[in-house]
Structure 1
Amino acid sequence: MSRDRQEAAAAACRWLAEDALFLDTETTGLHAGAEIVELSLIDSRGQPLLDTLIRPKRPIPPALTRIHGIDNAMVGDAPRWPEIHERLLELLKGRQVVIYNAEFDLRMLAQASSQHRLPWPEVVRRAGALSRLENDTIAHCAMLEYARFHGEWDPRRRQWKWQGLGKACQQQGIAVVGAHRALADNRMTLGVVRAMAESAD
């Protein structure tokens, strides 16, 4: 086993040993005005701590509904971001949190809070696959660690090639069920992390 693969597997072992949380969001897009329409936070056993649809300020574009299956009728009675904001901060405070493509979800969390003029902890240090937030939350990017674990080099970018979550699951023999819904994606990420950790054993 290569050193990078060993280190990625060891990271996965630490996340599970420390009972890291797993977070995923679904959104109305990738742009600066995009909003979160679903958020899931689970523990390292796959149990939901927070799993909710979120009603955005603007309608969900049909193109995004075709990706994640969340339409405007589904979020009609859902809470708005301010109603879950404080609870989410309380759950995350001081914890390790694992996110598949952490850079995107961390940006969306800050963006959602800013849209409602609510505070969100700033990233105060970045080091590879880790982001440390002001509230002592440490966020790890499962996508970057899995890229190291998988070991496919991208010569153009001069880094390990990122693997989509569905592709990572297929590579590890994990069923892809309910993709692009927050809870399902969280549990698939947990499955990938477990597979990485098992290779260390």
Structure 2
Amino acid sequence: MSVRGRRPGAPDTRAAVLAAARSAFAEQGFRGTTIRAVASAAGVDPALVHHYFGTKDDLFLAAMELPVDPRAVVAHVTEGPVDEVAERFLTAFLGVWDDPTIQPALLTVARRILEPGGDKLLSEGFLPVVIQPVGARLGIDRPEHRMTLVASRVIGLILMRYVLRAEPLASLSKEGVIATYAPTIQRYLTGDLP
């Protein structure tokens, strides 16, 4: 008689997989990391990695230890008029970053990106997994180029408002941030580019 259900494993198996994934994503980037390599580094079968985390995208986001799934945060951004997408994007973004229960974990991730190897987490992971799909769903021309420009503005906002807490940006109201940043982000999304 066979027993069905969850595969038995040590309580720290999930943690070992996450640690191996963090290391692999930081060293090899998103493209250079495979589920098989993460599984090997963690000493488990690749099927177990899929069991715990699903896809490589899901593993990447779990390894970043985000308190929210950024794909869910930006999912509704593409709904509605394209000429208002920057406002919707910033509203969703600020709704998460200004939440005092979530912000400490987000700050940890932002600081990790500034550490050695963090560039690959951002350029080869977060951009193609979270940001660039928004451009594709919007149907804009040159989505990878445009969404990289959007990310540059948003990363600057994160650094100045939340990490460095530079004034007057740090204490600017949500409405003030949207009014200041939305026109530039909208131009990156739908305006003429060189």
TM-score of the alignment, normalized to the shorter chain, above 0.5: no
Band the TM-score falls in, shorter-chain normalisation: under 0.3
TM-score, with length taken from structure 1 = 0.23
* Rg (Cα) greater in structure: 2
Greater relative contact order structure (CA < 8 Å, 6+ sep): 1
Structure with the bigger percentage of helix: 2
TM-score, with length taken from structure 2 = 0.23
